[in-house]
Amino acid sequence: MKEKDIKSIVKEKYGRIALQPEPGGCCGPVSDCCGVDYTIFSENYDNQQGYNKEADLGLGCGIPTEFAGIKPGHHVLDLGSGAGNDCFVARAIVGDSGQVTGLDFSDEMLSKARQNAEKLGCKNVEFVAGDIEEIPMESNRFDVVISNCVLNLVPHKQKAFAEIMRVLKPGGHFCVSDVVLKGELPDKLREDAEMYAGCVSGAMQMEDYLETITDAGFRDIQIHKQRSIEIPAEILKMYLNEVEMHDFRNNKIGLFSITVSAYKQV
């Protein structure tokens, strides 16, 4: 798919998710707009300080704030902040002396996040419209950049990591949770628009993902957590016949959630 098409699909899909009356992955617990519940990727936030259930739409694939080394007073940027889930967790860590900025390109998600912030009375959390490939922030601004199951949806990941490098302060770092592959997904899975907006088709090979981070100039790359994600049979059946399903399973093609961090040179 062309870059413009990919971004339009992702923006439209997540805009629809934001407008659902109940959280629950793709389009709510009872889905009639996409037929797939992508909460198979998400993790449980119940024990995270600052967690707000209304801001958790089940769209993540990890908890990047657990390993991000965020400290009181830090200025944190969350890329693809959605309804604000990770921003509110980060805000509990940075405290009143810190600042959290959420970036998203979905107007519906931004509206939902701002409503959640108002309900919580957060004075040092802001939500800004923008594209991850062209972050509308000045350089050397943030101590930490986080993201949760979003960068895999970005068409040009090299641009995304270059922008992360640019907006981080010298010595700053990022910590992101994302979906990566081991082995090749069948074309039918990779190319379908629904799967793209559900974290699967935009995923890179793990070694290519890590190489992209290295090529952007980051150092001290560390994978903090790696979790195998099994694509449910009902999803695979939407795209593969029985023979293809058998081949897919026997080839042991892997879909993984990883949480990785790396540092900008001082």
- pTM score of the predicted model: 0.86
Nearest to 197 by CA among 4, 2, 3, 8: 8
Domain 3-263 has CATH 3.30.70.20: no
Can you give the three-state secondary structure of 191-254, one letter per residue? HCHHHHCCCCCCCEEHHHHHHHHHHCCCEEEEEEEEEEECCCHHHHCCCCCHHHHHHHHHCCCE
Residue-level pLDDT at 252 = 66
Cα–Cα dist 52/238, whole Å: 34
Q: How many residues does the chain have?
A: 266
| Mean pLDDT, rounded, of the chain | 85
pLDDT, tens digit (0-9, with 9 covering 90-100), for 211-231: 999 999 999 999 999 988 777
Residue-level pLDDT at 240 = 81
Q: How confident is the model at residue 234 (pLDDT cuts 50, 70, 90)?
A: confident
Q: List, in order, residues 6 or more apart from 30 with CB less than 8 Å away.
A: none
pLDDT, tens digit (0-9, with 9 covering 90-100), for 95-139: 999 999 999 999 999 999 999 999 999 989 999 999 999 999 999
- The strand ranges marked E within the chain are 75-79, 99-104, 125-129, 142-148, 168-182, 204-205, 219-229, 254-263
Residue-level pLDDT at 33 = 41
**Percentage of the residues of the chain whose pLDDT score is greater than 90:** 58
Mean pLDDT of 155-183: 95
